Structure 1
Amino acid sequence: MAEDLHKRICLVEDDPHVARLIGATLRDFGFAHDWRRTGADLLRLLRSGEVPDLCIVDLGLPDMDGMELVRALRSDGRCGVLILTGRGDTIDRVMGLELGADDYMVKPFEPRELIARVRSILRRCTAPRDATPLPLSTVAEFAGWRFAPGSNTLSSADGESSTLSTAEAQLLKTMLQHPNRILTREQLMGERNLSSFDRSIDVRISRLRRKLEDDPQNPKLIKTVYGAGYLFACAVVWR
């Protein structure tokens, strides 16, 4: 796809052989990428102001645990994150998604699946073409909260602010643009054929509930409509 050429992908992988394989796969499908061997290398890149559209992160890095890097990327909140690792344990997968990763893949990988997941994350991080772009100064107000999609900033009534991950911010923005309306998991994820085994949307909903709800176990804002999807049960004012 021509638009893929304009996406900036950074691969964080300490094994040169694996990095070459991943890099070749990305190039074959029209994606340019930068390679960083350590987490520190990526953090230096971010501090320079050169923020990729997507970071593909290995968990077994020589200078830090990849989970620490995912946590740092989540706090920065400006790019998508795909974990690509040899760790296949469920606890690692859940922890990675809880920390803010957009997706999780286990090595060895199938090239077309990797590209499909890369494209999926990039679509989520990009505003839908049929949606009216929101000015950077626009904020949404609801139930005492303020959300600024231009900076992924969520602020409470007492003035405390936090920066959402790209995935969390995109999910919240979608719900805020369609309040009091049931949205399917596919609509929330921007996917037409979402696997019934893909629970990443549920993890993100859970994270947002912990931030927004007084009692996340009995949510009043983000309601589950069993068999249908989720509903944001609140009036929203955009300013």
Structure 2
Amino acid sequence: MTRPLVTILDDEPEIRTLLADALEEAGFDTLSFGRARAFEAALAKHTPDVCLVDLSLPDTDGLTLVHRLALELGAVVIIISGRAQVQDRVTGLELGADDYIIKPFDPSEVVARIRARLRSPKTATTTSNTASFNGWTAFFDRYVLCDTQGTEVPFSHAESEVLRLFLESPKRLISRTQMQESLGGAASESFDRAMDVRISRLRTKLREDPKNPRLIKTIYGAGYIFLGDVSWQ
């Protein structure tokens, strides 16, 4: 069985070693980089399952890199940073990161969060990668939404998890607890905030009226309902 590949991008050698040792002991393969340029060059040869990215990099803006990875790579992207401010965490999630871990951290927590992100959704009902609904087609293998005019709108890995959950359970209430259990997150305020961010971004990409969304409805105090008619191909 192939071991999942985790890339580590951090300019601190001690952090890279700490993470690599913990991950390899837990059954992952790793590649470590101290500079974004070397990391991006390696992506031409390797396809990681998870990218661990520090925000404070000497040769690029970490948030810009996270956004590009989320849109183009399709891998799970987890930020590991010493920036503990709420706004930094919110911005990272808004740009497409799947999770945000604050330094200092326990390596075992990082391993647990990676395993949770790679875990298959428990509510998955189809192995298809293409779904059509209300004038849109979602291509989960390419992380792209396509409208009836052929215009493509990219979405991140994190957004794809939420969208797929909705499309697999249309016209059914999905509670916060069900989302947490399905998506492998830990029940917390940060998880709730991450879901709010992803749903907001999906509404924007689906050109929803934020004051009166037609497809993704919020049922206050209960959860969400996706009201579209879905066809899987």
206, 212, 223: which is aligned to 2:217?
223
Question: 1:162 maps to which residue?
Answer: 153
Q: 1:30-53 CA distances to partner (integer Å, 9 max, x unpaired)? A: 2221101111222212233x2100
- What is the TM-score when the length of structure 2 is the normalising length? 0.90
CA shift for structure 1 position 79: 0.3
| Structure 2 CA distance for partners of 1:53 and 1:86, relative to 1, 3 Å | same
* 8 A Cα contact 1:77 1:164, kept in partner: no
The answer on 1:43 being equivalent to 2:40 is yes
Q: Partners of 2:77 and 2:100 in 1: how far apart?
A: 9
- What is the TM-score when the length of structure 1 is the normalising length? 0.88
| Structure 2 CA distance for partners of 1:74 and 1:179, relative to 1, 3 Å | same
Matched ranges for 1:118-129 at <5 A = 118-123=114-119, 126=120, 128=122
Q: Partners of 1:214 and 1:191 in 2: how far apart?
A: 24
* 8 A Cα contact 2:131 2:230, kept in partner: yes
Question: 2:20 maps to which residue?
Answer: 23
Matched ranges for 1:1-239 at <5 A = 6-48=3-45, 50-123=46-119, 126=120, 128=122, 131-134=125-128, 136=129, 139-189=130-180, 190-191=182-183, 194-197=186-189, 198=191, 199-239=193-233
Q: 1:5-47 CA distances to partner (integer Å, 9 max, x unpaired)? A: 6211000011111111122221232222110111122221223
* Aligned residues: CA RMSD: 2.0
| Structure 2 CA distance for partners of 1:192 and 1:59, relative to 1, 3 Å | closer
Counterpart amino acid of residue 216 in structure 2: I
Q: Partners of 1:9 and 1:109 in 2: how far apart?
A: 17
Question: Residue 20 of structure 1 aligns to a residue in which SS?
Answer: helix
Unaligned runs of 5+ in 1: none
| Structure 2 CA distance for partners of 1:13 and 1:204, relative to 1, 3 Å | same
Q: 1:57-98 CA distances to partner (integer Å, 9 max, x unpaired)? A: 000111101111101102214100000011111111111000
Q: 1:110-137 CA distances to partner (integer Å, 9 max, x unpaired)? A: 22221221111112xx465964422x5x
Using the TM superposition, name which of 19-28 and 184-193 deviates more: 184-193
Q: Partners of 2:104 and 2:167 in 1: how far apart?
A: 38
Question: Residue 188 of structure 1 aligns to a residue in which SS?
Answer: helix
Q: Identity of paired residues, percent?
A: 40
Question: Residue 11 of structure 1 aligns to a residue in which SS?
Answer: strand
Q: 1:125-162 CA distances to partner (integer Å, 9 max, x unpaired)? A: x465964422x5xx211111111122221012222102
Question: Residue 158 of structure 1 aligns to a residue in which SS?
Answer: coil
Question: Residue 47 of structure 1 aligns to a residue in which SS?
Answer: coil
Question: Residue 109 of structure 1 aligns to a residue in which SS?
Answer: coil
Q: Partners of 1:191 and 1:235 in 2: how far apart?
A: 23
Q: 1:149-182 CA distances to partner (integer Å, 9 max, x unpaired)? A: 2222101222210221111112111211111011
* 8 A Cα contact 2:52 2:79, kept in partner: yes
Question: How many equivalent residue pairs?
Answer: 230
